[in-house]
Structure 1
Amino acid sequence: MKKTIQAAFAVTLLAPMTAFAAEGAAHAEGKKESLITLYTQGGIVMHFLLICSIAMVWLVIDIWMRTNRPKMTPPEDVATAQDRFRAGDYVGAYQAMKAGVSPYAEVVRAGLSSIGHGKDATEEAIYSTVDKINSTLQTRINYLSVIGVCAPMIGLLGTVAGMKGAFGSLGSTGLSGGVGELAGHIGEVLVATATGLLVAIPAFGSFYFLRNKLQGAVHNLQGECERLFRNAPYEYLQNTDVGQEETYAALPNWIDAPEG
C-alpha cells in the first residue's frame, strides 16, 4: 500500500513536468522529444533538480504518515493509558507507554515520570515533550521550504550557464547558423528553469499544507494528554517514582553516607 501511494504521488508530481517539457519542445521544433532528451538538454543542474524532486516526494510521504492523527495519537495507546489510569495502576501505565513508540506514549511517559513531583512538574514535562515532538517534525517540514527556494535558483543557474554557451557560440559564428538555431538553443536551456519551478511549486504547497496538518495533530495530541491527567491524585502520588528507572545521581563523595 505504501509503495502504491509513493508511486502515485511521484506520477502526480512528474506528470506536469513531462507535459510542460514535451509541449515546449513540440512548439519549438515541431516534433516530440523524449523525457530523457529533455533531461539531457537541461544540463548538469538537472541531476541536482532530480535529487531535489526525489527528496521532496520522500519528505511529503514521510511527514504525511508521521502527522496522521492515528499515528500521533494511536487509539490503542489512548485506550490502554485510560484503562490503567482508571484502575490506579500508574506503574502499569508507565510500563505500557514505555513499550509504545508513538508520540502519545512518549508524552504520557514523560508526564508519569514527573507525576511524583506535583501537578506543575507534570504539566511542564508534558508541554516540553510536546514541544520537542513538534519541533522535530517542523524541522522536517522546513526542508520542503528549503527545496522550494533552492530549486528555482538551481534551474536559473543552469539556464544562465546554457545561455552563456549559446551566446558564446553566436559570438564566434555570427548569425550564419540562422536565428532559428539560436532560438532552439535558448529553448533548450530554459528547460532547467521550467523544471526548477515545477519542483518548487509543489514543494511550497506541501510545506504550508503539512505545516497546518502538523498543528492540528499536535493540538489533538496535547488535548488527549491533558484529558488523561485531569484530576490526577497528585497528593497521593507525592514523592513516588512511578517510572522506577535507575537513578545515577548519588550523594557527593565528600559527604559520608548515613549509617544503617
Structure 2
Amino acid sequence: MNRPLLILALIIGASAATLAQETPPAAKPGEAPAVHTKTLWEQIEEGGWVMFPIGLCSMLTLYLIGDGFMRVTSPKRMLPAEQVEAVKNFFRAGKYVDAYNYCKANNSSFCNVTRMAVSALGEGKTATEEAIITEMTKENSRIQTFVSYLSVIGVCTPMIGLLGTVTGMISAFAVLGSSGIGDPSGLSAAIGEVLVATASGLFIAIPAFTSYYWLRNRGAKVLHDIQDTVAHLLRKMPYDKLDGAHIGDEEIVAADPEWYVAPEAAAHA
C-alpha cells in the first residue's frame, strides 16, 4: 500500500476507534436509538469547495451527452432515407445540377458529402474521391468536437476529486496536530471531505468516459454508412461525359498565369 493510502487508513482507523469508545446516549425504554441520516445536500456540503467545479463538470457532462445523442445516435438526422432516395432519383435522371441544389437546400451529413462530390464530378474520379474524403473529415471533426470534451471531463474530474482528497487530508492532519484525537467531530468532518470529493469525481468520470466511447464509436459507424452510400451513388459515373463541367455555385478564382501563351497563339506568332 502506498504512503498516502496508508496515512488515510490510519486516520480512518483512529477515528473509528475514538468513536467506538464513546457511549451513545441511552434510548428510552421501548424506543430505538435516534440515527441521524445525512441528506444529499449535507453530503455535498461535506465535500468542501471542490464540489463547485465538480458540480459544473456534472452539468456540462449532461449537456454534452444530450447533445451527442441528438447529433450521433439518430441516423435520420445524419443519413435520412428520404434524402438518399431523392438524390438517387436525380442521379437516375442525370440531373446532377438538381441533385447539387437539393443537397445544398437540405442540411445533413449525407447531403454535405454528396454536394461536395457532385461539385467535383467535372474534375474526374480522383478529384471526386478527394472531395469526399475532405468533407468526411470535416463531418467527423464537427461531430467529434463536442463529444471529445466528455473524455476531458472524464480525466479532469477524478483529478479534481483527488485535489479535494489532498486538502481533506491536510485538514485532518491539522486537527490531529491541534487537538489530537480527542475531537472526533472535527476529524470526521475532514475525513468526510476526503471521501465525498473522491467519490464525486469518480461518479462524474465513469458516465462521461462511457458516453464518450459509445458516442465516438456510434459516430464512426454512421459516417462509414454515409461513405458507403455515396460510393454506391457514384458507381459507373460517366466522368468522361462530365469532363470540364462546373456543377455548383462555388466561385472558381484560379486562372491561367499571366505569362502563359496558348499554343495556337504561339504557332501564329
Aligned to 1:155: 161
Secondary structure of 1:154's counterpart equals helix
- Structure 2 residue ranges without an equivalent (≥5): 1-33, 263-269
Q: 2:47 aligns with which of 42, 46, 64?
A: 42
1:175-221 CA deviation, whole Å, 9 max, x = no partner? 2314x652343023311110000001111111221122112111111
1:242 matches 2:214:
no
Counterpart amino acid of 2:230? C
1:78-98 CA deviation, whole Å, 9 max, x = no partner? 122111111111011101111
1:222 matches 2:252:
no
Aligned to 1:232: 237
Secondary structure of 2:222's counterpart equals helix
Separation (CA, whole Å) in 2 of partners of 1:147 and 1:44: 18
Aligned to 1:79: 85
Paired-residue identity, %: 46
Q: 1:47-196 counterparts in 2 under 5 A?
A: 47-67=52-72, 68-178=74-184, 181-196=186-201
Contact 1:163 1:189 in 2 (8 A): yes
Report deviation, 1:41. Answer: 1.5
Report deviation, 1:254. Answer: 6.5
Counterpart amino acid of 1:59? L
Q: 2:216 aligns with which of 185, 188, 211?
A: 211
Q: CA RMSD in A?
A: 2.2
Separation (CA, whole Å) in 1 of partners of 2:129 and 2:94: 19
Cα separation, partners in 2 of 1:43 and 1:174, compared to 1, 3 Å = same
Secondary structure of 1:237's counterpart equals coil
Cα separation, partners in 2 of 1:137 and 1:225, compared to 1, 3 Å = same
Report deviation, 1:224. Answer: 0.9
Q: Which has the higher helix share?
A: 1
Contact 1:41 1:189 in 2 (8 A): no
Contact 2:119 2:247 in 1 (8 A): yes
Cα separation, partners in 2 of 1:255 and 1:219, compared to 1, 3 Å = closer
For this pair of structures, how many residues does the alignment match? 230
Report deviation, 1:250. Answer: 4.1
Separation (CA, whole Å) in 2 of partners of 1:124 and 1:38: 56
Separation (CA, whole Å) in 1 of partners of 2:145 and 2:171: 39
Report deviation, 1:56. Answer: 1.3
Separation (CA, whole Å) in 2 of partners of 1:197 and 1:183: 21
Separation (CA, whole Å) in 2 of partners of 1:48 and 1:184: 20
Separation (CA, whole Å) in 1 of partners of 2:208 and 2:122: 45
Between stretches 62-71 and 133-142, larger displacement belongs to 133-142
Separation (CA, whole Å) in 2 of partners of 1:66 and 1:211: 11
Between stretches 245-254 and 81-90, larger displacement belongs to 245-254
Separation (CA, whole Å) in 2 of partners of 1:211 and 1:244: 34
Greater CA radius of gyration, 1 or 2? 2
